[in-house]
Chain A
């Protein structure tokens, strides 16, 4: 079964008189447990595709199915539920909630999911230990380094064991050592927990980890390499 299926996705942006295609009839199917990298120059449509798959942005045309559920006609609230149940996000800029501690940031998604306080605490501490942040649970984002913040963001994305993790340039603000640690963590989660990863990246080091590499140009998939 496919984790993600996209059919004929079109997304247009208007720039003055000019119509730009963010996505130009994109067809894509990602198998469960896949580890896919989207590459391509800036403006090629990587982030637009991730946002469409994540239900953050609606395509002008085409259809998206996540874990067997078509999301095209879902309302804003239903899309929020779908993201909550199925998808973990890792953004380029760490995007943590600054007034919450590392543990509280990780617990946040589980809180929205309705888990009990003890379950949340246990799961958050486990995942923070797994990403190497044991002892830093009570620190706020401003008291963590960039790499540590990104690991908190990853912990938050995977703590509730989503079927799919969407990561947009997750290593862009990390030094090479931290980037390597993060990618090893992704691979481990992919292998251990069968989490499907779709990663948009410019970083060739990241692409080396991919089982499947898709190259996009001007909103079109121009290359689809399975390794």
Chain B
């Protein structure tokens, strides 16, 4: 008669593990609650933090950053009008019209000075194509007074509310924009304020003035030249792969063009994603490491209470490996049930919060970090998988000690233990 391997015994070991788990149901329920709450906390707080980062990134990418930008190679160091580029060639336009690109637009973006009758201040003048700009940035959706630009030839200007207040001007009044042409001559022109926008965060309102792109090109004597092409993909996390084919096409252009993803343009913001991933992993490990002490204690107690039974099983011919497996199976039951409850309750808690949490009480401070006053928790399946894998691995690791101790019990000492 050949004894079977401990792994082939798993049927009876699962049964023993499951029934043993409920012998002290209070202790089991307490441990399950601890695991479930721990898992819930990991996932819920991760979703909140992801929501904050998503908000920051989306806010920034919709504030004239986009997912990918094309510039003259010197433009980022010196956003002067001389560092402009020609409009996209036919081959570049083909690449920009590929399936992976959701939308793209061309812009003129130069530093300028704006003057009203009372005040003068420095701003960034942005010449846009109103229709192609619409899906890319916030401006078309944030007009609170007046109107949006009607065409690239529109002769009006749109200003932010805070800039309007600062200049002590209003809708319908004229302002003067002043900048440099490619020959370094000062050029200026009067524009009527046709629209006022609000933005979130509001400091943007003081920064940008929007005019029609063709109007800007004429006023600045640029001809057909533009400052940048902004490209939007389907997911900001995929910006680097979106940039690859565009870069390959741009490399074949007759003029040098730099193609950069948003993470390369805004390195601080770009570093948020890997930093966040690292933080989530550390956070999950820290929470579960604390929990694993409880798990070890529960299993150690369970083994301690069953020393005689373990001795009996050894006396009857059960191998130490099978004893070890039995304790590990108990741990798996605890972990899996705790994970299911934790994941489910996190999902159920986050679900009703999808429409956003109003954090305007602290929004003033958050605006400094580029966040808006509404927080949208972002539940990602990857985070749930990460939490599940980490909890299972750490939990099994922590369970090895009591399982190993159970397997090492001396049958005689175990059988005679009172």
Contacts and interface: CB of A to CB of B under 8 A. Distances in A.
A interacts with B: yes
Interface of A: 51, 54, 56-57, 76-77, 80-81, 83-85, 89, 91, 95, 97-100, 104, 108-109, 111-114, 156, 160
Interface in B13-58: 15-16, 19-20, 23
B3 A97 contact: no
A178 B321 CA distance: 37
A83 B317 CA distance: 5
Contact of A84 (B3, B11, B16, B23): B3
A109 B412 contact: no
B312 A112 contact: no
Which of A85, A99, A156 gathers the greatest number of chain B CB atoms within 10 Å?
A99
Contact of B20 (A84, A91, A99, A160): A99
Nearest to A51: B412
B4 A83 contact: no
Which of B9, B318, B320 gathers the greatest number of chain A CB atoms within 10 Å?
B318
B405 to A, nearest CB: 15
A111 B11 CA distance: 9
B1 A85 contact: yes
Contact of B415 (A95, A99, A109): A95
A108 B316 contact: yes
Interface of chain A, helix or strand or loop or mixed? helix
B316 A89 contact: yes
Nearest to B4: A114
7 contacts: A56-B411, A76-B320, A95-B415, A104-B15, A112-B318, A113-B3, A160-B1
Contact of A113 (B4, B312, B411): B4
A104 B316 CA distance: 14
A113 B12 CA distance: 12
Nearest to A161: B1
Contact of A80 (B8, B308, B309, B318): B318
Interface of chain B, helix or strand or loop or mixed? helix
Contacts of B23: 98-99
Contacts of A83: 315-317
B316 A109 contact: yes
B313 interface: yes
Given A91-B415, A111-B12, A114-B4, A84 B320 contact: no
A109 B3 contact: no
Give me the 9 closest cross-chain CB pairs, A-B, nearest first.
Answer: A84-B317, A114-B4, A99-B19, A83-B317, A95-B312, A56-B411, A111-B12, A80-B319, A57-B412
Contacts of B15: 100, 104
A57 B4 CA distance: 23
Which of B20, B321, B412 gathers the greatest number of chain A CB atoms within 10 Å?
B412
A114 B19 contact: no
Contacts of A98: 23, 309
B319 A77 contact: yes
B2 interface: yes
Which of B2, B317, B411, B415 gathers the greatest number of chain A CB atoms within 10 Å?
B317
A113 B316 contact: no
Nearest to A87: B317
Contacts of A104: 15
Contacts of B372: none
B246 to A, nearest CB: 64
A223 to B, nearest CB: 26
A37 B102 CA distance: 90
Interface in B296-314: 308-309, 312-314
Given A95-B312, A112-B4, A156-B316, 19 more contacts: A56-B314, A56-B315, A76-B319, A77-B321, A80-B3, A80-B317, A80-B318, A80-B319, A81-B317, A83-B315, A85-B1, A85-B3, A97-B16, A97-B312, A99-B19, A100-B16, A111-B9, A113-B317, A114-B4
Contact of A97 (B309, B317, B319, B415): B309
